[in-house]
């Protein structure tokens, strides 16, 4: 789990520290699907004490998730680099004047950024995953993976826009 050690930083207003580390993330749940991370995430963050022990965390997180291709249904590792930006405030400190509703509470000397990292990854996920631009997908008739096998089905190669229209006409 990605924890930030702020024991020293939280004491001095204006103090900054750049941290680079790797950390494992738990399974990402999205409605009825689950995505596993295939390797520990890589963090590159700048921590800034913005006063009253509040810590501004800004940077990049690089993750790789195991996802199914929406054309051929094979799982593959999908890499994603997401920008990260959160401000954490110390629960037991007097309220910081700049505090907004988006700020996240922490207490003690460590900040667990896991929930915000998962939220950021979720927000940056595409609607669908394609294993490669060249992926040929499954045969719509017999279902074989056309990337690895050939079949003798006669497929009408129709323009996807026309396919949409056909579907509409059918219903
Ligand atoms: Zn594919
Ligand atoms: Zn076929």
The tens digit of pLDDT for each residue in 108-158 reads 999 999 999 999 999 999 989 999 999 999 999 999 999 999 999 987 766
Domain boundaries, given as residue ranges, for the chain = 3-134, 136-171
Distance 146 CA to ligand 2 centre (A): 8
Q: Which ligand is nearest to the CA of 136?
A: 1
pLDDT of residue 49: 97
- Residue spans of beta strands (DSSP E) within 14-164: 16-23, 28-30, 33-37, 41-49, 55-68, 75-90, 104-106, 110-112
pLDDT at 14 over 70: yes
Tell whether the model's pLDDT for residue 161 goes beyond 80: no
Q: Cα(55) to centroid of ligand 1, in Å?
A: 42
Would you state the pLDDT for residue 60?
Answer: 98
The pLDDT, as a whole number, for residue 166 is 67
Tell me the DSSP string of 81-110. EEEEEEEEEETTSPPPTT--TT-EEE-SSE
User: How far, in Å, is the centroid of ligand 1 from the Cα of 161?
Assistant: 20
The ligand placed nearest to the CA atom of residue 146 is: 2
Instruction: Tell me the whole-structure pTM to 2 decimals.
Output: 0.83
Does residue 170 surpass a pLDDT of 70?
no
CA pair distance 112, 130, nearest whole angstrom: 32
pLDDT band, very low/low/confident/very high, at 94 (cuts 50, 70, 90): confident
Question: What average pLDDT is seen over the chain?
Answer: 92
64 vs 165: which has the higher pLDDT: 64
Relative to the alpha carbon of 139, which ligand is closest? 2
Q: Output the pLDDT for position 33.
A: 83
């Amino acid at each position: 789990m990605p924890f930030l050690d702020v024991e020293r930083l939280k004491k001095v207003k204006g103090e900054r520290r750049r941290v680079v580390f790797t950390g494992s993330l738990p399974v990402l749940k999205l409605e009825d699907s689950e995505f596993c991370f295939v390797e520990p995430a890589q963090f590159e963050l700048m921590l800034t004490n913005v006063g009253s022990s509040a810590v501004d965390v800004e940077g990049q997180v690089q993750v790789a998730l195991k996802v199914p291709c929406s054309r051929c249904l094979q799982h593959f590792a999908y890499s994603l680099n997401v920008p990260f930006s959160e401000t954490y405030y110390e629960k037991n400190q007097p309220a910081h004047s700049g505090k907004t509703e988006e700020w996240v509470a922490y207490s003690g000397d460590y900040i667990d950024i896991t929930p915000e990292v998962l939220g950021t990854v979720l927000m940056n996920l595409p609607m669908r995953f394609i294993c490669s631009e060249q992926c040929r997908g499954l045969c719509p008739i017999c279902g074989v993976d056309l990337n690895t096998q050939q079949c003798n089905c006669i497929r009408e190669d129709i323009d996807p826009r026309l396919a949409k229209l056909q579907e509409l006409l059918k219903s």
